[in-house]
Amino acid sequence: MTFRKKGSKNPPLLSLEFILQNHADFVACVGMFFVLGLMFEGTAEVSIVFITLQHGVTFPAAEAEAEAEAERATAPKFLYHYGAKDLATVFFYTLVAIIIHATIQEYVLDRINRRMQFPKQRQGKFYESGQFSVFFLVSCIWGTFILVSENCLSDLAVLWKAHTHNMMTFQMKFFYISQLAYWFHAFPELLFQRSRPQELSQQAVYVGLHLFHIAGAYLLYLNHLGLLLLMMHYFVEFLSHSCDLFYFSDEKFQKEFSLWAIVFILGRLVTLIVSLITAGFQLAGGHNVISDDSAEDVNVLAAKIAVLSSSCSIQAYVTWNLFNVQLQRWMEEDAPLQAPSVKKKRIKGRFCRKGTENGVATSNRLLDSPQMRKEKSS
């Protein structure tokens, strides 16, 4: 993504340039309407749908009376499932993501760019890597905390089993809502940041793949498995964009980037292995076509095929992008090596041509000197 530059002159009011320069302020005003709606009784019910998580159920609300009496000793859990109202919540947090994006851009990345004075060709990649590095780092810390708190790492069976009665905890649902909101906000950012046409399709596919896989894990209740795979993917992407930032600051880190490519591929292989083992062997073994709700797991053959194919597709896509980036950088390194030789030839030819011209001029001046004229007359 390329970052727009604010011009010295103020654009006309309500023009496209004015909207692009002040889009974060407009989005903040829209978000404030939903927050202020909580203060009034008539609009509180509508605003709360956008701000708080919906479709919550107090568990065990649907249990039989005998089971409810047996579990009275323990406090009831408030769990969530997904529904149509989640779209309103995703919309609100998409506005929040746009505001956070603009804040990081203005107060962090712009200041670093002014200090480092990157060339125009690298500014777009620097801004992109900076934004993604912050997002991937925060997501990795947050997701790891959820995996530890819900005992996913100690009990691996949780990875292929849905939560009780296809429910999810508050922190799990809020994480997925935030992830969907962030990747949805990337589409308008392509317009706000004025991405070049040759990069627009590639960025749209990159964002669309993330949305497809996160939404698939959310709708199939593969929350824990999707979270684990997402953390592995995000960790690799975070290190990749961190290496890009070091490379932009100093090209001497090119060797480290070449070594990093090996780590990048190994991370993709580990993700594929986890997907194959979990989806191929543990997701309700057998060829059942109908899901069994009492088994509390995803027992659909089509779901297993979708998980495997989607996981393989995104790993193949990001690996192909890595090869393309590496090839472009090798071509950029070879270009300066060939340019000086051509330049020397041109300089040498220019000097030779000037030397011959100077030689002819000096010889003409010698022939026209008074001494040579006397010798000719004698």
Tens-digit pLDDT profile for the chain (378 aa)? 444 444 446 777 777 778 778 888 899 999 999 999 999 988 999 999 999 999 988 866 544 444 444 444 445 578 899 999 999 999 999 999 999 999 999 899 999 888 888 887 778 888 888 999 999 999 999 999 999 998 887 777 777 665 555 788 999 999 999 999 999 999 988 888 777 777 788 888 889 988 988 998 898 888 888 898 899 889 888 888 888 787 776 665 555 556 667 777 777 788 778 777 776 665 545 444 444 444 444 545 666 677 677 777 777 777 777 777 667 766 766 655 555 544 444 444 444 444 444 554 555 554 555 555 555 555
CA distances 323 to 75, 136, 207, 230, 237, Å, are 53, 21, 19, 22, 14
CA distance 343 to 338: 9
pLDDT of residue 289: 40
pLDDT at residue 103, as a whole number: 92
For 68, how many CA atoms within 13 A lie in the half-sphere containing its CB? 8
Which two structure tokens, joined as six digits, stand for 55? 């479709």
Report the DSSP pairing between strands 77-80 and 56-59. antiparallel
The Cβ-side half-sphere exposure at 279, using a 13 Å CA radius, reads 25
Conformation bin of residue 285: beta by default, left when phi > 0, alpha when psi is -120 to 50:
beta
The whole-number pLDDT of residue 171 equals 94
Segments making up each domain of the chain, as ranges: 51-287+295-333
What pLDDT score does 290 carry?
41
pLDDT of residue 71: 46
Q: How far apart are CA 360 and CA 55, in angstroms?
A: 93
- The residues facing 168 across adjacent strands are 80
Q: What is the pTM of this model?
A: 0.76
pLDDT given for residue 28 in this prediction? 92
Q: In whole angstroms, give the CA distance from residue 163 to residue 221.
A: 8
Quote the CA–CA distance of 198 and 300 in Å, as a whole number. Answer: 40
From start to end of the chain, where are the E strands? 56-59, 77-80
Please state, in angstroms and as integers, the Cα–Cα distance from residue 148 to each residue in 13, 42, 48, 153, 158, following that order.
Answer: 51, 41, 30, 6, 12
Q: What pLDDT is stored for residue 222 in this prediction? A: 81
Residues 6+ apart with CB under 8 A from 128: 1, 241
Burial of 215 (0-12, 13-18, 19+ CB in 10 A): middle
Task: Quickly list DSSP for 199-231.
Answer: HHHHHHHHHHHHHHHHHHHHHTT-HHHHHHHHH
Q: How far, in Å, CA of 312 to CA of 324, rounded?
A: 19
Between CA 46 and CA 35 the distance in angstroms is 11
